[in-house]
């Protein structure tokens, strides 16, 4: 147990080095010792989403399940949004037609909006992610020659 902080620091470094499989492995080692370790759950879920490529083998359900193990309601909502957003981006990168991933962006935005309502003071992460989703929807709206329903270019993000 005394090695957990250093192990998680290494897992974070592996994520930053774009080696999410290494980070995932370390997180699983930590969770073998401390199954409910919140930091390991966060890093594991992120490492799983780092591996999304827009294919059938993407483990989005596993990532959602991992994040549901977080105790903090804000974090559960925020990271659920991350799963939807990263899945949508991976599908776009893999060549999915933009209109087919709109629902994933909308699900992400719903999660971010709900998280924003219960966010810790001074934490604007959910707002920033919501804004990014809107911009991606607007950017790809021209790909189907219309603005996504409900997202006008003049809309402002939630405050």
Average pLDDT by consecutive 10-residue portion of the chain (159 residues)? 96 98 98 97 98 95 98 98 97 92 96 98 97 92 58 52
DSSP 58: -
What is the rounded distance in angstroms from the CA atom of residue 20 to the CA atom of residue 54? 16
**pLDDT for residue 142:** 72
pLDDT in tens, 86-131: 999 999 999 998 889 999 999 999 999 999 999 999 999 999 999 9
**pLDDT for residue 21:** 98
CB 8 within 8 A of CB 43: yes
**pLDDT for residue 146:** 47
| Residues of the chain above pLDDT 90, percent | 84
């Amino acid at each position: 147990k005394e090695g957990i902080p250093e192990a998680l620091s290494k897992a974070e470094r592996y994520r930053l080095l774009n080696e999410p499989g290494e980070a995932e492995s370390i997180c699983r080692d930590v969770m073998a010792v401390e199954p409910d370790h919140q930091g390991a759950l966060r890093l594991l879920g992120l490492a799983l989403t780092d591996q999304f490529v827009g294919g059938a083998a993407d483990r989005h359900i596993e990532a959602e399940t991992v994040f549901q193990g977080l105790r903090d309601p804000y974090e559960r909502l925020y990271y659920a949004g991350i799963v939807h957003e990263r899945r949508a981006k991976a599908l776009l990168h893999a060549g999915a037609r933009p209109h087919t991933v709109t629902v994933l962006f909308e699900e992400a935005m719903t999660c971010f909006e709900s998280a924003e309502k219960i966010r810790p003071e001074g934490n604007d992460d959910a707002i920033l992610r919501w804004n990014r989703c809107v911009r991606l929807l607007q950017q790809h709206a021209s790909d189907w020659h219309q603005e996504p329903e409900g997202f006008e270019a003049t809309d402002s993000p939630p405050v």
